[in-house]
């Protein structure tokens, strides 16, 4: 499905962009905040890849692997959102101090 392929590519591009931004950042809380955002992007990449597997290959093995990818992707997205919400006030406070 071309829709999922576009989502896969876009989420991977955002992941790479955030990883470069992470390397360039010097502030520790901002780095953790950016890392949380990149975790969300990587989780969405894995999630969309798992969903795409269901539509391309219609075998039982593909279904099992797709379900595992969806579960791991969803877990990574939820952990990233939790970390994002936790580190955002600290990153804002750190940016205001500099």
Q: How far apart are CA 55 and CA 13, in angstroms?
A: 23
Helix (H, G, I), strand (E, B) or coil at 15: helix
CA 42 to each of CA 66, 75, 91, 95, 98: distance values in angstroms, whole numbers, following the listed order? 16, 11, 21, 25, 30
> What pLDDT is stored for residue 56 in this prediction?
85
pTM (two decimals): 0.90
> What pLDDT is stored for residue 92 in this prediction?
93
Q: How far apart are CA 5 and CA 82, in angstroms?
A: 27
Q: Model confidence at 55, in pLDDT bands (50, 70, 90)?
A: confident
């Amino acid at each position: 499905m071309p829709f999922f392929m576009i989502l896969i590519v876009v989420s991977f591009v955002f992941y790479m962009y955030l990883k470069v931004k992470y390397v360039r950042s010097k502030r520790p809380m901002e780095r953790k905040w950016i890392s949380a955002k990149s975790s969300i992007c990587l989780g969405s990449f894995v999630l969309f890849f798992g969903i795409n597997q269901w539509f391309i290959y219609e075998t039982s093995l593909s279904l099992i692997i797709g379900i595992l990818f969806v579960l791991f992707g969803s877990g990574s997205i939820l952990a990233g959102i939790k970390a994002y919400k936790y580190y955002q006030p600290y990153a804002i406070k750190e940016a205001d101090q500099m």
